Amino acid sequence: MKKIAAILIVALGFTSTTIAQEHRKEKLEETLTVDQQTELAVKKMTLKLDLTASQQEKIKPLLAEQITERKAAKAKRKEMRKKKQKPSSDEHYKMMTAKLDKQIAFKSEMKHILDTQQYDRFEKMSNRKMQRIKKKMHKKGDKHRKMEHDENK
């Protein structure tokens, strides 16, 4: 019985630490400027892909644009959430199309900047990141659906 209690306490500790770290990371991203976020992203990419100085300079404006657009989209979603509005199917389609077009353009630019080995690593990194995001969104969706279900009772 004591062992089970100890295991539960340790598991609870890990869970709360992980959640707190995620919230701190989100808060940090909100307080950093676009330039600071860009600089950090370029440095992380440099470490993972062994970028040259010229590659860093070419990637920096791409990432800055991407971060700016992401912040604007997040602010727009936040505003719509405050007003309790949802985009119409037409608006949703336009947003998704624009998002995918930007992703295609970004990928194309990265393909021109990086060599083949770097681009392969970049692709793997991107795929892993997307998997983590999907997993996180799935978990959030489960929590949201559970809350809605509890409210309807």
Distances (CA, A) of 64 to 1, 39, 93: 54, 9, 25
Q: pLDDT by residue for the chain (153 residues), tens digit each?
A: 666 655 666 666 666 566 655 556 666 667 899 999 999 999 999 999 999 999 999 999 999 999 999 999 889 889 988 988 888 899 889 989 999 999 999 999 999 999 999 999 999 999 998 899 888 888 777 665 555 555 545
CA atoms of 53 and 40, how far apart (whole Å): 15
Distances (CA, A) of 11 to 7, 21, 108, 121, 136: 6, 16, 43, 34, 19
Report the sign of the C-alpha dihedral through residues 49, 54, 58, 61, in that order: positive
User: Residue 2 has what pLDDT?
Assistant: 63
Q: What is the pTM of this model?
A: 0.68
User: Residue 123 has what pLDDT?
Assistant: 94
Q: What single string gives the DSSP state of each residue in 102-114?
A: HHHHHHHHHHHHS
User: Residue 140 has what pLDDT?
Assistant: 73
CA atoms of 33 and 70, how far apart (whole Å): 13
CA atoms of 34 and 99, how far apart (whole Å): 19
Are the CB atoms for 87 and 80 separated by under 8 Å?
A: yes
Instruction: Copy the structure tokens of residue 126.
Output: 């991107």
